[in-house]
Structure 1
Amino acid sequence: MSAIDVVGQYGAALAAGDMGALAATFHPDAVWHQPGANQASGDHVGPDAILAHLGRFMELSGGTFVLETDSATEAGDLVSATVRFRAQRAGHDDLDQHGVDVFRIAGDRIAEVWLISEDQEAEDRFWGQG
């Protein structure tokens, strides 16, 4: 399976809300690197922690968080995907940004994810400090 196919499975599982299939796309030691200085920032290790992290976005946004992939390209075991993410949160300006997610694939599973937002400061303000 190609690296881009693995990321495609991740995207399909995320869009369908299939948490079992989503967890299966991650290597047991996968690391999700969440940038910024907000309550969601930091490294999240392993499928359970990553799914809990993604669930936290839904919790904080009252279920409004949406992530869409615009396009993806691969180079060996790396895949970059241009994304748009949106959410609403009481007391905050709506979040509506584009970004790039970079995935490293190992053994047909996602081993690492790095995220780059177009405006990290605005994203930090949106998610807040908790």
Structure 2
Amino acid sequence: MSNLDPVRALYAAFASGDMPAALATMAPDIVWNEAENYPYADRNPYVGPEAVLMGVFARIGGDWDGFSATSDELIDGGDTIISLGHYAGASKATGKKMRAQFAHVFRVKNGKINGFQQYADTLGTAIALGR
């Protein structure tokens, strides 16, 4: 098993809306950090899959129509995986569309994601949300 596998599985599960499969890619003690000034960074760090589900994924579902996180490139650094990609979606509050670049840094141990750090276009996201 490659350390790329749980990262690929996370993106695939998120894209299909399969939250149980997304959470299954995470270690029980995952530490998840959203980018500073990102709308969901207010509760950083999120510790554990349930915290990520309720604090990030559920809030995204409430704020966006057609939200996607697409990894355009994965860089294998052993136990550190870097994903370069983009978010897209339309704000439910404003109707404005968003396309924003991201870099995700994943830490993988024993076949599970145990750390996540997001870097993202916070301004583009805030504008779409009307904040």
What's the TM-score, normalizing by structure 1? Answer: 0.86
Aligned-pair CA distance for 1:67: 1.1
Residues 75 and 20 (structure 1), Cα distance of their counterparts in 2 relative to 1, 3 Å cut: same
Q: Which residue of 2 aligns with 1:59?
A: 62
Pairing of 1:108-123 with structure 2 (within 5 A): 108-117=111-120, 119-123=121-125
1:2-42 deviations in Å (ceiling 9; x for gaps): 11112111122112221111111000010110112354112
Aligned-pair CA distance for 1:100: 0.9
Q: Which residue of 2 aligns with 1:88?
A: 90
Residues 123 and 36 (structure 1), Cα distance of their counterparts in 2 relative to 1, 3 Å cut: farther
Aligned pairs, how many? Answer: 127
**What percentage of aligned pairs have identical amino acids?**
27
Residues 127 and 105 (structure 1), Cα distance of their counterparts in 2 relative to 1, 3 Å cut: farther
1:2 alignment partner, SS class: coil
Partners of 1:125 and 1:36 lie apart in 2 by 16
Residues 79 and 109 (structure 1), Cα distance of their counterparts in 2 relative to 1, 3 Å cut: same
Which structure 2 segments of 5+ residues have no match? none
Residues 38 and 104 (structure 1), Cα distance of their counterparts in 2 relative to 1, 3 Å cut: closer
Pairing of 1:1-130 with structure 2 (within 5 A): 1-41=1-41, 42-52=44-54, 53-61=56-64, 63-89=65-91, 90-91=93-94, 93-117=96-120, 119-127=121-129
Aligned-pair CA distance for 1:101: 0.8
Partners of 1:25 and 1:68 lie apart in 2 by 17
Residues 128 and 111 (structure 1), Cα distance of their counterparts in 2 relative to 1, 3 Å cut: farther
Calculate the aligned-residue CA RMSD, in Å. Answer: 1.9
Higher mean C-alpha deviation, range 104-113 or range 4-13: 4-13
Residues 57 and 73 (structure 1), Cα distance of their counterparts in 2 relative to 1, 3 Å cut: same
Amino acid at match of 1:116: Y
Aligned-pair CA distance for 1:127: 4.7
Which structure 1 segments of 5+ residues have no match? none
